[in-house]
Amino acid sequence: MNTTVNPNKALWEKGDFTRIAATMRESGETLVQKLGITKGLKVLDLGCGDGTTALPEAKLGADVLGIDIAQNLVEAGKRRAAKQGLTNLKFQEGDATNLKQVPDNSFDLVVSIFGAMFAPKPFEVAKAMVRVTRPGGRIVMGNWIPNDPTFVARLLKISSNYTPPPPEGFVSPMTWGIENNVIERFAAAGIPAERVSFTRDTFTFNFQGTPSAYVDEFRKYYGPTMNAFEAAEKQGRAAELQKELEELFNSQNKSQDATSIPATFLRVTVAV
Protein backbone atom coordinates (compact mmCIF):
# COMPACT_ATOMS: atom_id res chain seq x y z
CA MET A 1 0.00 0.00 0.00
CA ASN A 2 1.27 3.49 -0.85
CA THR A 3 1.05 5.60 2.31
CA THR A 4 3.07 8.59 1.09
CA VAL A 5 1.24 11.82 1.86
CA ASN A 6 0.74 14.14 -1.11
CA PRO A 7 1.05 17.60 0.51
CA ASN A 8 -0.84 19.23 -2.39
CA LYS A 9 -3.82 16.93 -1.80
CA ALA A 10 -3.57 17.15 1.99
CA LEU A 11 -3.65 20.97 1.89
CA TRP A 12 -6.98 21.08 0.03
CA GLU A 13 -8.59 18.19 1.91
CA LYS A 14 -7.82 20.03 5.14
CA GLY A 15 -10.66 21.95 6.74
CA ASP A 16 -13.65 22.44 4.48
CA PHE A 17 -13.13 24.57 1.39
CA THR A 18 -16.87 24.37 0.64
CA ARG A 19 -17.34 27.03 3.36
CA ILE A 20 -15.23 29.49 1.37
CA ALA A 21 -16.64 28.34 -1.99
CA ALA A 22 -20.11 29.22 -0.69
CA THR A 23 -18.99 32.87 -0.71
CA MET A 24 -17.76 32.66 -4.32
CA ARG A 25 -20.89 31.53 -6.14
CA GLU A 26 -22.11 34.83 -7.71
CA SER A 27 -18.77 35.67 -9.33
CA GLY A 28 -18.36 32.05 -10.41
CA GLU A 29 -21.65 32.28 -12.32
CA THR A 30 -20.79 35.69 -13.80
CA LEU A 31 -17.47 34.39 -15.05
CA VAL A 32 -19.06 31.31 -16.65
CA GLN A 33 -21.49 33.59 -18.52
CA LYS A 34 -18.46 35.09 -20.32
CA LEU A 35 -17.09 31.75 -21.57
CA GLY A 36 -19.33 31.29 -24.60
CA ILE A 37 -20.71 27.98 -23.36
CA THR A 38 -23.21 26.29 -25.65
CA LYS A 39 -25.35 23.18 -25.31
CA GLY A 40 -23.35 19.97 -25.66
CA LEU A 41 -19.93 21.66 -25.40
CA LYS A 42 -17.49 19.23 -23.77
CA VAL A 43 -16.01 21.02 -20.76
CA LEU A 44 -13.36 19.95 -18.25
CA ASP A 45 -13.45 22.01 -15.05
CA LEU A 46 -10.06 21.39 -13.50
CA GLY A 47 -9.47 22.01 -9.80
CA CYS A 48 -13.23 22.32 -9.70
CA GLY A 49 -13.67 22.23 -5.91
CA ASP A 50 -17.35 21.63 -5.14
CA GLY A 51 -18.40 23.04 -8.50
CA THR A 52 -18.56 26.83 -8.18
CA THR A 53 -18.06 27.13 -11.95
CA ALA A 54 -18.84 23.52 -12.96
CA LEU A 55 -22.50 23.78 -11.91
CA PRO A 56 -23.19 26.98 -13.91
CA GLU A 57 -21.39 25.42 -16.92
CA ALA A 58 -23.71 22.39 -16.72
CA LYS A 59 -26.76 24.61 -16.27
CA LEU A 60 -25.88 26.23 -19.60
CA GLY A 61 -26.14 22.78 -21.18
CA ALA A 62 -22.46 21.83 -21.42
CA ASP A 63 -21.38 18.25 -20.88
CA VAL A 64 -19.09 18.80 -17.87
CA LEU A 65 -16.46 16.76 -16.06
CA GLY A 66 -15.10 18.28 -12.85
CA ILE A 67 -11.72 16.97 -11.72
CA ASP A 68 -10.17 17.82 -8.37
CA ILE A 69 -7.41 16.37 -6.22
CA ALA A 70 -9.42 16.67 -2.98
CA GLN A 71 -11.70 13.71 -2.36
CA ASN A 72 -13.96 15.61 0.05
CA LEU A 73 -14.57 18.36 -2.52
CA VAL A 74 -15.32 15.84 -5.29
CA GLU A 75 -17.92 14.26 -2.98
CA ALA A 76 -19.38 17.69 -2.14
CA GLY A 77 -19.60 18.49 -5.87
CA LYS A 78 -21.42 15.23 -6.57
CA ARG A 79 -23.95 16.05 -3.84
CA ARG A 80 -24.55 19.55 -5.22
CA ALA A 81 -25.01 18.24 -8.78
CA ALA A 82 -27.42 15.51 -7.62
CA LYS A 83 -29.44 18.00 -5.59
CA GLN A 84 -29.89 20.16 -8.68
CA GLY A 85 -30.65 17.18 -10.94
CA LEU A 86 -27.69 17.90 -13.24
CA THR A 87 -27.11 14.61 -15.05
CA ASN A 88 -24.70 16.29 -17.52
CA LEU A 89 -22.15 16.99 -14.75
CA LYS A 90 -19.74 14.37 -13.36
CA PHE A 91 -17.00 14.73 -10.76
CA GLN A 92 -13.82 12.68 -10.47
CA GLU A 93 -10.73 12.71 -8.29
CA GLY A 94 -7.60 13.46 -10.33
CA ASP A 95 -4.36 15.40 -10.48
CA ALA A 96 -3.80 18.37 -12.80
CA THR A 97 -0.12 17.47 -13.08
CA ASN A 98 -0.93 14.44 -15.22
CA LEU A 99 -4.71 14.03 -15.83
CA LYS A 100 -3.78 10.43 -16.39
CA GLN A 101 -7.37 9.14 -16.61
CA VAL A 102 -8.23 11.59 -19.42
CA PRO A 103 -7.59 10.62 -23.08
CA ASP A 104 -5.96 13.12 -25.47
CA ASN A 105 -8.16 15.71 -27.29
CA SER A 106 -11.20 15.01 -25.06
CA PHE A 107 -12.53 18.52 -24.46
CA ASP A 108 -13.65 21.62 -26.37
CA LEU A 109 -12.98 23.79 -23.34
CA VAL A 110 -10.80 23.34 -20.27
CA VAL A 111 -11.63 25.76 -17.46
CA SER A 112 -9.52 26.15 -14.36
CA ILE A 113 -10.50 28.96 -12.02
CA PHE A 114 -7.97 29.27 -9.17
CA GLY A 115 -7.55 25.50 -9.52
CA ALA A 116 -4.65 24.24 -11.66
CA MET A 117 -2.55 27.17 -10.44
CA PHE A 118 -2.32 25.38 -7.08
CA ALA A 119 -0.90 22.15 -8.52
CA PRO A 120 2.87 21.66 -8.36
CA LYS A 121 4.96 21.23 -11.54
CA PRO A 122 3.44 24.04 -13.66
CA PHE A 123 5.08 22.85 -16.89
CA GLU A 124 3.48 19.42 -16.45
CA VAL A 125 0.14 21.08 -15.73
CA ALA A 126 0.27 23.18 -18.93
CA LYS A 127 1.22 20.06 -20.90
CA ALA A 128 -1.66 18.04 -19.43
CA MET A 129 -4.22 20.79 -20.11
CA VAL A 130 -3.07 21.15 -23.74
CA ARG A 131 -3.03 17.38 -24.23
CA VAL A 132 -6.67 16.90 -23.18
CA THR A 133 -7.98 19.89 -25.21
CA ARG A 134 -8.90 19.14 -28.82
CA PRO A 135 -7.11 21.13 -31.55
CA GLY A 136 -9.28 24.22 -32.12
CA GLY A 137 -10.44 24.11 -28.48
CA ARG A 138 -9.72 26.57 -25.68
CA ILE A 139 -8.23 26.68 -22.21
CA VAL A 140 -9.36 29.38 -19.77
CA MET A 141 -7.54 29.86 -16.48
CA GLY A 142 -8.25 32.26 -13.62
CA ASN A 143 -5.04 32.96 -11.70
CA TRP A 144 -4.32 35.17 -8.72
CA ILE A 145 -1.61 37.78 -9.33
CA PRO A 146 1.49 38.04 -7.11
CA ASN A 147 1.94 41.36 -5.27
CA ASP A 148 -1.47 42.55 -6.42
CA PRO A 149 -2.88 45.08 -3.94
CA THR A 150 -6.28 43.32 -3.72
CA PHE A 151 -7.62 40.67 -1.37
CA VAL A 152 -6.39 37.18 -2.25
CA ALA A 153 -2.80 38.08 -3.14
CA ARG A 154 -2.52 39.91 0.17
CA LEU A 155 -4.19 37.11 2.13
CA LEU A 156 -1.78 34.53 0.70
CA LYS A 157 1.20 36.85 1.22
CA ILE A 158 0.32 37.48 4.88
CA SER A 159 -0.21 33.73 5.42
CA SER A 160 3.16 32.90 3.85
CA ASN A 161 4.90 35.32 6.23
CA TYR A 162 3.94 33.03 9.11
CA THR A 163 4.59 29.63 7.52
CA PRO A 164 8.01 27.96 7.25
CA PRO A 165 9.81 28.48 3.92
CA PRO A 166 8.76 25.96 1.25
CA PRO A 167 11.10 23.12 0.25
CA GLU A 168 13.86 23.90 -2.25
CA GLY A 169 12.62 23.79 -5.83
CA PHE A 170 9.05 24.73 -4.87
CA VAL A 171 7.44 26.95 -7.51
CA SER A 172 4.94 29.43 -6.07
CA PRO A 173 1.38 29.00 -7.43
CA MET A 174 1.31 32.80 -7.74
CA THR A 175 3.74 32.59 -10.69
CA TRP A 176 0.68 31.55 -12.76
CA GLY A 177 -0.33 35.21 -12.39
CA ILE A 178 2.78 36.41 -14.28
CA GLU A 179 2.17 36.65 -18.03
CA ASN A 180 5.71 35.69 -19.09
CA ASN A 181 5.63 32.56 -16.97
CA VAL A 182 2.28 31.55 -18.44
CA ILE A 183 3.58 32.11 -21.99
CA GLU A 184 6.72 30.08 -21.25
CA ARG A 185 4.73 27.15 -19.80
CA PHE A 186 2.32 26.94 -22.74
CA ALA A 187 5.19 27.42 -25.21
CA ALA A 188 6.86 24.35 -23.71
CA ALA A 189 3.55 22.51 -24.33
CA GLY A 190 3.66 23.53 -28.02
CA ILE A 191 1.45 26.64 -27.97
CA PRO A 192 3.00 29.78 -29.51
CA ALA A 193 2.77 33.04 -27.54
CA GLU A 194 0.33 34.67 -29.98
CA ARG A 195 -2.28 32.06 -29.06
CA VAL A 196 -2.18 33.04 -25.37
CA SER A 197 -4.13 36.15 -24.35
CA PHE A 198 -4.65 37.91 -21.04
CA THR A 199 -7.23 40.10 -19.40
CA ARG A 200 -7.69 41.40 -15.85
CA ASP A 201 -10.99 40.50 -14.23
CA THR A 202 -12.57 40.81 -10.79
CA PHE A 203 -13.96 38.13 -8.51
CA THR A 204 -16.05 39.22 -5.50
CA PHE A 205 -16.30 37.24 -2.26
CA ASN A 206 -19.68 37.73 -0.55
CA PHE A 207 -20.22 36.65 3.06
CA GLN A 208 -23.34 37.19 5.18
CA GLY A 209 -21.56 38.38 8.30
CA THR A 210 -18.90 40.81 9.48
CA PRO A 211 -15.36 40.86 8.04
CA SER A 212 -14.11 39.49 11.39
CA ALA A 213 -16.53 36.56 11.20
CA TYR A 214 -15.26 35.97 7.64
CA VAL A 215 -11.66 35.83 8.95
CA ASP A 216 -12.87 33.12 11.35
CA GLU A 217 -14.23 31.11 8.41
CA PHE A 218 -10.79 31.20 6.78
CA ARG A 219 -9.09 30.35 10.11
CA LYS A 220 -11.35 27.32 10.66
CA TYR A 221 -11.88 26.01 7.13
CA TYR A 222 -9.35 27.27 4.52
CA GLY A 223 -6.24 25.01 4.36
CA PRO A 224 -3.61 27.71 3.63
CA THR A 225 -4.93 29.98 6.42
CA MET A 226 -5.27 27.03 8.82
CA ASN A 227 -1.61 26.16 8.17
CA ALA A 228 -0.58 29.77 8.74
CA PHE A 229 -2.38 29.84 12.10
CA GLU A 230 -0.86 26.50 13.15
CA ALA A 231 2.62 27.87 12.39
CA ALA A 232 1.83 31.23 14.03
CA GLU A 233 0.57 29.49 17.20
CA LYS A 234 3.89 27.63 17.51
CA GLN A 235 5.69 31.00 17.33
CA GLY A 236 3.24 32.68 19.77
CA ARG A 237 2.13 34.98 16.90
CA ALA A 238 -1.47 33.85 16.31
CA ALA A 239 -2.96 37.10 17.71
CA GLU A 240 -0.68 39.09 15.41
CA LEU A 241 -1.84 37.08 12.38
CA GLN A 242 -5.50 37.45 13.40
CA LYS A 243 -5.04 41.24 13.69
CA GLU A 244 -3.32 41.51 10.30
CA LEU A 245 -6.10 39.52 8.62
CA GLU A 246 -8.88 41.49 10.32
CA GLU A 247 -7.25 44.72 9.14
CA LEU A 248 -7.01 43.34 5.60
CA PHE A 249 -10.61 42.04 5.48
CA ASN A 250 -12.02 45.26 6.98
CA SER A 251 -10.04 47.55 4.69
CA GLN A 252 -11.10 45.62 1.56
CA ASN A 253 -14.78 45.27 2.48
CA LYS A 254 -17.18 47.25 0.28
CA SER A 255 -20.41 46.35 2.09
CA GLN A 256 -22.06 48.29 4.94
CA ASP A 257 -24.06 45.45 6.50
CA ALA A 258 -22.20 42.26 5.45
CA THR A 259 -18.89 41.44 3.74
CA SER A 260 -18.21 41.94 0.04
CA ILE A 261 -14.58 41.88 -1.05
CA PRO A 262 -13.45 42.21 -4.68
CA ALA A 263 -10.19 40.67 -5.88
CA THR A 264 -8.38 41.15 -9.17
CA PHE A 265 -7.23 38.11 -11.12
CA LEU A 266 -5.56 37.31 -14.43
CA ARG A 267 -7.84 35.57 -16.93
CA VAL A 268 -5.77 33.55 -19.38
CA THR A 269 -7.23 32.26 -22.65
CA VAL A 270 -5.30 29.76 -24.75
CA ALA A 271 -6.35 28.87 -28.28
CA VAL A 272 -5.19 25.28 -28.75
Ligand X SMILES: C[S@@+](CC[C@H](N)C(=O)[O-])C[C@H]1O[C@@H](n2cnc3c(N)ncnc32)[C@H](O)[C@@H]1O
Is there binding between residue 222 and ligand X (CB under 6 A)? Answer: no
**Shorter beta-carbon distance to ligand X: residue 13 or 136:** 13
Binding mask of the shown chain, residues 115 to 134, with x at each position contacting ligand X by CB under 6 A: x--xx---------------
H or E stretch including 46? strand 42-46
Is there binding between residue 265 and ligand X (CB under 6 A)? Answer: no
Q: Could you give the CA distance from residue 163 to residue 227 in angstroms, rounded to a whole number?
A: 7
Nearest-CA neighbor of 268 among 42, 58, 117? 117
DSSP for 91-143, written as a single string: EEE--TTT-TTS-TT-EEEEEEESSGGGSS-HHHHHHHHHHHEEEEEEEEEEE
Give the range of 20-28, 32-40, 84-92, 242-250 binding ligand X by CB under 6 A: 20-28
Give the range of 49-57, 80-88, 100-108, 249-257 binding ligand X by CB under 6 A: 49-57
Among 48, 102, 228, 248, binds ligand X (CB under 6 A): 48
Binders in 51-70 for ligand X, by CB under 6 A: 52-53, 68-70
Could you list the residues that contact ligand X (CB under 6 A)?
A: 8, 12, 17, 21, 24, 28, 47-49, 52-53, 68-70, 73, 95-97, 113-115, 118-119
